Amino acid sequence: MKVILREDVEKLGKAGEVVKVADGYGRNYLIPRQMALLANVRNMKTLEHDRRASETGTKKVRKDAETVAATLAGLSLSLPAKAGEEGKLFGAVTSRDIAEALGKAGVSVDRKAVQLAEPIKQLGDYKVKVRVAADVVPEISVSVVSET
């Protein structure tokens, strides 16, 4: 029996693939749990239509992500923070602080998109990656300066 997977099934395939499975597995497990559809002509046409619509949407999202990435790549942030004499901060600069500074600069970014391995605890210049899309990750330069 051939079925079209509606979601990823471990050791079988990814969503949207047409796979051949045993009759009982498809009829008694995959189809009742709505993990798959029977691969008939109507469902195949629907799959192709959905695939084309998805590709169009993906291209649009990718194009938007690349424009945001170009904006971010040319951006340089300066974050003031209280620091001791040796340059060690009282507290730390976190991804939330960077996301807020980006918001003030005109680019709204979720704090979870800011890829900071650990909070910044020293004065200085840093390169921070910001995930805009799955494979679009521009770097911004962040300068942590002492408050006066």
Per CATH, 2-66 and 69-146 having the same topology is answered no
- Residue spans of the domains in the chain: they are 2-66, 69-146
User: 69-146: what fold?
Assistant: Ribosomal Protein L9; domain 2 (3.10.430)
Residues of the chain with pLDDT under 70: 148
> What pLDDT score does 133 carry?
83
Domain 2-66: top CATH class: alpha beta
Which residues lie closer than 8 Å to 148 by C-beta, 6 or more apart? none
Tens digit of each residue's pLDDT (9 = 90 or more) over 98-129: 999 999 988 888 999 999 989 999 999 999 99
